[in-house]
Amino acid sequence: MLARLAAKRLLEIRQVFRQPPSQASRSLSTALNYHLDSPDNKPDLPWEFSEANKSKVKEILSYYPSNYKQSAVIPLLDLAQQQHGGWLPVSAMNAVAKVIEVAPIRVYEVATFYSMFNRAKVGKYHLLVCGTTPCMIRGSREIESALLDHLGVKRGEVTKDGLFSVGEMECMGCCVNAPMITVADYSNGSEGYTYNYFEDVTPEKVVEIVEKLRKGEKPPHGTQNPKRIMCGPEGGNTTLLGEPKPPQFRDLDAC
């Protein structure tokens, strides 16, 4: 019985990875913990940091004691992902392992654990919708649906022009501005990489953001509600209007 279940699961995983990278389903989340060779993602493909990024690698390593190079694995993977257009092939992970002098499995463990690392191709603009409870209550499902319908893709797919992909991220840490999305901009490589949050969004607003990005524009990030200043309430504060009083110290000698 267990053998049949395992064989069925392996077949499902193989079917996921046999699809073109732009069409690979993300519904089988555990499939991203496996690697099956594909023409553009196999260990024997050469990969190394660019000359510009090699200096960044040295800078990153300088932050850690020489006997703790492995502590640089996350920033180095992030740099590799930026250089490679937003995703990490296995050969890039092997290159990072070589830099920090660890077995490749130590790098794979990190890359497959953190959702910030993409194991399949993403668009030049990777749109992530916060799906945590505050954003969900405030309409994040409608936000995601608006993006998917407008772009004509499913979650995890890439548009035919290679510009956009949509994913989900858990808690972007600004629940007071829910719902929100973030845009990872890989359109200009690691030199021009940006990662911006767009808060207080609506279905109409996210479509507007997409179209501005398509035109090469840089839409203003932060709150998209003109009635708010950053995380302040609409219309301005209603409490705490004056300067706070300084702390009062008791004279212990007088007690």
User: What tokens does 62 get?
Assistant: 């300088």
Position 33, amino acid: N
Cα of first residue to Cα of last residue in the chain, in angstroms, is 77
**135 labelled as ligand-binding?**
yes
Find out whether 53 and 81 touch, Cβ atoms under 8 Å.
no
Q: How many CA atoms lie within 13 A of 195 on its CB side?
A: 8
Name the 3-class secondary structure at 198: strand
| Structural element, H or E, at residue 60 | helix 51-61
Which helix or strand (DSSP H or E) is residue 134 part of?
helix 133-137
Question: Is-contact 180 130, C-beta < 8 A?
Answer: yes
Reading phi first (left if > 0) and then psi (alpha if -120 to 50, else beta), residue 230 is in left
Instruction: Say whether 231 counts as a known binding-site residue.
Output: no
Q: Which amino acid would we find at residue 175? A: C
Q: Across 30-179, where does the E strand assignment appear? A: 125-130, 164-169
Q: Is 130 assigned to a binding site? A: yes
Residue 171 assigned to a binding site: yes
Q: Which residues are annotated as a binding site?
A: 130, 135, 171, 175
Q: Which residues are annotated as a binding site for [2Fe-2S] cluster?
A: 130, 135, 171, 175
